[in-house]
């Protein structure tokens, strides 16, 4: 009798686990195969507008550069600013949005616009120039709350905790 109840409980837990895994896989597939939601687009546009207003206030101009959302960046990269033949583009990693949209809004957009501003002002000559003290000040001026050299994964993980 006890063995039969244990088997039923085990079967129930197994089926429930399969249902949860299937649901999570389906949600992941939907996110990967669909454009980002209108809500995410609006949040990104609002943050971009804030950053550009701060740029105007502190530096006297704004940049009209494309902010491109892509799923082609490596999973560990939240964003990247590209300077190629005088053209500047900012790319945000769609895959990272699922992990931590809050981190992208609070830190990554200002971080990447700080790079773009440094490119525009000609303050980037060597690879080691990317995260200088001057860049950190620009990042903070543009509203970046944590202008570290790279992504602080502890911030991302802790931002998800309910406490």
Q: What is the mean pLDDT of residues 129-158?
A: 72
- At residue 156, does pLDDT exceed 80? no
User: For residue 123, what are the CA distances in angstroms to 127, 128, 141?
Assistant: 11, 11, 16
pLDDT for residue 149: 62
Residue 162: pLDDT band with limits 50, 70, 90 = very low
Tell me the per-residue pLDDT of 12-34, one tens digit each, with 9 for 90 and over.
999 999 999 998 888 877 777 78
Output the pLDDT for position 131: 83
Q: What is the pTM of this model?
A: 0.76
Looking at the DSSP assignment, which residues form a beta bridge with residue 88? 83
Phi-psi sector, 67: left (phi>0), alpha (psi -120 to 50), beta: beta
Q: Are the C-beta atoms of residues 71 and 94 closer than 8 Å to each other?
A: yes
Q: Which two tokens stand for residue 150?
A: 């790279």
Topology (CATH level 3) of domain 36-160:
Zincin-like (3.30.2010)
Q: Taking 50 as the threshold, does the pLDDT of residue 82 lie above it? A: yes
Domain positions in the chain:
1-34, 36-160
Q: Is the pLDDT of residue 135 over 70?
A: yes
According to the model, what pLDDT value does residue 126 have? Answer: 55
47-61 tens-digit pLDDT: 999 999 999 999 999
């Amino acid at each position: 009798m006890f063995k039969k109840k244990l088997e039923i409980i085990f079967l129930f837990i197994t089926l429930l686990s399969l249902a949860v895994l299937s649901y999570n896989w389906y949600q992941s597939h939907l996110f990967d195969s669909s454009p980002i939601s209108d809500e995410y687009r609006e949040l990104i546009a609002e943050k971009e507008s804030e950053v550009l207003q701060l740029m105007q206030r502190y530096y006297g101009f704004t940049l009209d550069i494309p902010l491109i959302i892509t799923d082609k960046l490596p999973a560990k990269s939240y964003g990247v600013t590209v300077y190629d033949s005088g053209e500047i583009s900012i790319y945000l990693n769609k895959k990272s949005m699922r992990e931590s949209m809050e981190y992208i809004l609070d830190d990554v957009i200002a971080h990447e616009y700080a790079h773009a501003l440094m490119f525009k002002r000609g303050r980037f000559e060597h690879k080691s120039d990317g995260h200088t003290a001057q860049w950190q000040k620009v990042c903070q001026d543009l509203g970046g709350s944590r202008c570290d050299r790279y992504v602080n994964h502890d911030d991302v993980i802790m931002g998800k905790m309910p406490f």
